[in-house]
């Protein structure tokens, strides 16, 4: 994340409060200024010292608490906040916020926040959560512009199993990341991203695939959503966590990916084809498991549709098409040839020979190739690489006008 932004984190009296410490730590590590406000009851579940140590700021509880950083604490913090999240949010604090009751530092501050996004992560027993009063209060708050994160289902502290668990810190982090990580320079744009490998069945047990992890495409989808785009992610089978703020279309084969992409590309402003699509599939899929027989087994393979070639041949003038190339030799030459052949606007070329680049890694070293230039990027995380790819695409689009 860029320059320091302020996250006001409200913690109320629920057992999930212990998870909020992990969230605070993740936010601090992302170079965010984190100010924690607790209710009196929250301090019974977790000591303010935990948050004070993690954030370097005094944790305020009572309306009249002072840390001497500001004059009128709740107003100053409300003005400073780039985003406010209350996690966990109890039925009690939801009720107070929905009905204008401000009787401690947390509720006064949240109510004094007008300019920034306010997000609540309710956590409570299922019956309490489903209570019509709580449901009405949450609807009311949504009407006032609050964002309510749906609780997860699972084992609850009371011994019941059901709805009401606070989502994991990683999930809550994504909501804050979306608010503060980037300027919303992709608002109004639909971006289609493909990611991961495809699997082409040989028989009911075996398939042909490749080493693609999906990380590069997923990083692109996540960054685009955080920059304000409407994102559609068409993905082959991967083990990476799905980006939260994208429409996900899960596919297995090149054919399924082709069908999904054809439909979604129609009104896409930008298409990034990071998927490693199989170029060939078995001509016939055996309906039974193929048994061992002779020493040699030959499989007849047929070509799959080249999705990118299809998109390039139908590209609308205002559309931007970015392909990906993975090469083991002649990186620039082979990639440029693909750029021409498939009528792309840009190709992100990576060499399998480079240290830290390519499949499975969390880093990448790519060269961005357009018709007029060739920009080698340094070794970067896949997230930073995604940012640079999008920056370059926006620069290219702006020079079209």
How far is it, in rounded angstroms, from Cα 102 to Cα 88? 18
Q: Is 320 in the site for ligand CTP (CB under 6 A)?
A: no
Residue 52 binds ligand CTP, judged by CB under 6 A: no
Closest to ligand CTP by CB, 19 or 273:
273
Binding mask 321-360 for ligand CTP (x = CB under 6 A): --xxxx-----------x----------------------
CB of 256 to ligand CTP, least distance (A): 12
Which CB, 50 or 308, lies closer to ligand CTP?
Answer: 308
Q: Supply the minimum distance, in Å, between the C-beta of residue 33 and ligand CTP.
A: 39
Stretch in the footprint of ligand CTP (CB under 6 A) among 4-12, 24-32, 142-150, 274-282 = 274-282
Which of 120, 254, 265, 390 binds ligand CTP (CB under 6 A)? It is 254
Distance in angstroms (rounded) separating the CA atoms of residues 401 and 394 = 12
**CB of residue 240 to ligand CTP, shortest distance in Å:** 17
Q: Please identify, using beta-carbon distances, which residue of 31 and 328 lies nearer to ligand CTP.
A: 328
Write out the chain in H/E/C secondary structure.
CCCCCEEEEEECCCCCHHHHHHHHHHHHHCCCEEEEEECCCHHHHCCHHHHHHHHCCCCECCCCCCCCCCCCHHHHHHHHCCEEEEEEECHHHHHHHHCCCCCCHHHHHHHHCCCCEEEEEECCCHHHHHCHHHHHHHHHHHHCCCEECCCEEEECCCCCEEEEECCCHHHHHHHHHHHHCCCCCCCCCEEEEEECECCEECCCCCEECCCCCCHHHHHHHHHHHHCCCEEEEEECCCCCCCCCCCEEEECCCHHHHHHHHHHHHCCCCEEEECCECCCEEECCCCCCCCCCCCCCCCCCEEECCCHHHHHHHCCCCCCEEEEEEEECCCHHHHHHHHHHHCCCCEEEEEECCCCCCCCCCCEECEEEECCCCEEECCCEEHHHHHHHHHHHHHHHHHHHC
Size of residue set near ligand CTP by CB under 6 A: 14
Stretch that binds ligand CTP, among 9-17, 62-70, 301-309, 383-391 (CB under 6 A): 301-309
Asked if 59 is an active-site residue, the reply is no
Contact 246, 227 (CB under 8 A): no
Comparing CB distances to ligand CTP, the nearer of 120 and 231 is 231
Nearer to ligand CTP, 142 or 279 (CB): 279
- Determine, following the binding rule CB under 6 A, whether residue 279 of this chain makes contact with ligand CTP: yes
Q: Which is nearer to ligand CTP, 146 or 258 (CB)?
A: 258
Q: Of 147, 256, 306, 384, which lies in the binding site for ligand CTP, with binding defined by CB under 6 A?
A: 306
Of 11, 30, 14, 26, nearest to 169 by C-alpha is 26
Residue with Cβ nearer ligand CTP (30 or 210): 210
Q: Does 307 bind ligand CTP (CB under 6 A)?
A: yes
Say whether residue 253 binds ligand CTP (CB under 6 A): no
Asked whether position 275 contacts ligand CTP by CB under 6 A, the answer is yes
Q: Which stretch binds ligand CTP (CB under 6 A): 97-105, 118-126, 171-179, 269-277?
A: 269-277
Single out the catalytic residue among 158, 224, 272, 322: 158
Applying CB under 6 A, which part among 54-62, 109-117, 272-280, 366-374 lies near ligand CTP? 272-280
Binding site for ligand CTP (CB under 6 A): 254, 273, 275, 277, 279, 304, 306-308, 323-326, 338
């Amino acid at each position: 994340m860029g320059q320091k932004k302020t996250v006001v984190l409200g913690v109320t009296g629920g057992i999930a409060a212990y998870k909020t410490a992990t969230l605070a730590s993740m936010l601090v590590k992302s170079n965010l200024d984190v100010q924690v406000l607790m209710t009196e009851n929250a301090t019974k579940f977790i000591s303010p010292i935990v948050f004070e140590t993690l954030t370097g700021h005094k944790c305020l509880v009572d309306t009249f608490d002072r840390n001497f950083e500001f004059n009128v604490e709740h107003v100053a913090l409300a003005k400073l906040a780039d985003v406010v999240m209350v996690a966990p949010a109890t039925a009690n604090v939801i009720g107070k916020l929905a009905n204008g009751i401000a009787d401690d530092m947390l509720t006064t501050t949240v109510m004094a926040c007008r300019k920034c996004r306010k997000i609540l992560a309710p956590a409570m027993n299922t019956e309490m959560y489903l209570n019509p009063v709580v449901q009405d209060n949450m609807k009311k708050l949504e009407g006032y512009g609050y964002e309510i994160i749906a609780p997860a289902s699972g084992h609850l502290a009371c011994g019941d199993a059901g709805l009401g668990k606070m989502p994991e810190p990683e999930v809550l982090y994504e909501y804050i990341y979306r608010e503060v990580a980037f300027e919303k320079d992709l608002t109004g744009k639909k971006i289609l991203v493909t990611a991961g490998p495809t699997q082409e069945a040989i028989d009911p047990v075996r398939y042909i695939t490749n080493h693609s992890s999906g990380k590069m495409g997923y990083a692109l989808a996540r960054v685009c959503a955080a920059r304000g785009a409407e994102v559609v992610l068409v993905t082959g089978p991967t083990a990476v966590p799905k980006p939260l703020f994208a429409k996900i279309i899960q596919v297995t084969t090149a054919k399924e990916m082709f069908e999904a992409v054809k439909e979604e590309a129609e009104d896409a402003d930008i298409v990034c084809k990071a998927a490693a699509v199989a170029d060939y599939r078995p001509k016939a899929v055996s309906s039974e498991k193929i048994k061992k027989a002779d020493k040699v087994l030959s499989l007849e393979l047929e070509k799959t549709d080249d999705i990118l070639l299809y998109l390039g041949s139908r590209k609308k003038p205002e559309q931007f098409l970015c392909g990906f190339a993975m090469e083991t030799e002649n990186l620039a030459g082979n990639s440029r040839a693909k750029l021409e052949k498939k009528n792309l606007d840009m190709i992100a070329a990576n060499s399998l020979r480079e240290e830290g680049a390519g499949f499975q890694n969390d880093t990448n070293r790519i060269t961005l190739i357009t018709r007029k230039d060739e920009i080698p990027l340094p070794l970067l995380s896949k997230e930073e690489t995604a940012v640079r790819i999008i920056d370059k695409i926006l620069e290219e689009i702006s020079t079209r006008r």
